[in-house]
Amino acid sequence: MTQAAAKRRYSVEQYLRLERDSHDKHEYDDGEILAMSGGSPTHSLIASNFNGELRGRLKGERCHVYESNLRISVPGKRRYVYADGTVVCGPLEYDPADTKQETVANPEVIIEVLSPSTEKYDRTKKFDLYRAAASFREYVLVSQDAPRVETFLRQPDGTWAFDVAAGLDASVRLRSLNTGVPLAEIYAGVEFPAEPAPDPTPPGEPAEG
């Protein structure tokens, strides 16, 4: 996308029409069309592992898992976004502005695999957007650098209960779906960055050299 195009304002209808003809995915923020950067192989593997494991656990249930090509809108917000994984329970509710019915407005669980360029956005502005959806019950944030999965569950009073699973021996509990997924399966095939070797010099002693 050129700099001039990035500054142009678009209607929702224009965005949806352009997005249908585009080979790349873009999000929409109140008139602006935002190009999405591609993820790393690790990002893609983690998302694929998680979605696949969760899909198997929900097979035969009323909830279905969708991968990152599903576009999401929030009623009352001029925003269209994509998530790394989305769970919808029951019939799909489509965005009324999307006459092609390619945009869903009732996400229940949303999974985001964190990356250095998007982590702040996923934790703040994007989470704020998702919370505006009445159907949204649980947010799942998955680290790339270490086996760690955070969950935020909406409570009856509107607050969010935090939980975290860390380590390949742990399992993340998706409380809204009453199911769990071992982190060893989510991170299967992932090679984590090696930790730096400890400094052999005792504290308070100068290093040899």
Beta bridge partners of 173: 180
Long-range contacts of 29-33 (CB under 8 A, 24+ apart): 29/78, 29/79, 30/78, 30/79, 31/78, 32/6, 33/1, 33/5, 33/6
- What tokens were used for 152? 């935020």
Dump pLDDT digits (tens) for 91-140: 999 999 999 999 999 999 999 999 998 999 999 999 999 999 999 999 99
Average pLDDT score, the chain: 91
> 8 or 160: which carries more pLDDT confidence?
160
| Residues whose CB is less than 8 angstroms from the CB of residue 170 and which lie 6 or more positions away in sequence, other chains included | 147, 182, 183
The structure tokens 């996400």 sit at 107
Dump pLDDT digits (tens) for 26-72: 999 999 999 987 789 999 999 999 999 999 999 999 999 999 999 99
What residue spans define the domains of the chain? 39-186
Q: Quote the pTM value.
A: 0.88
- Give domain 39-186's CATH superfamily: tt1808, chain A (3.90.1570.10)
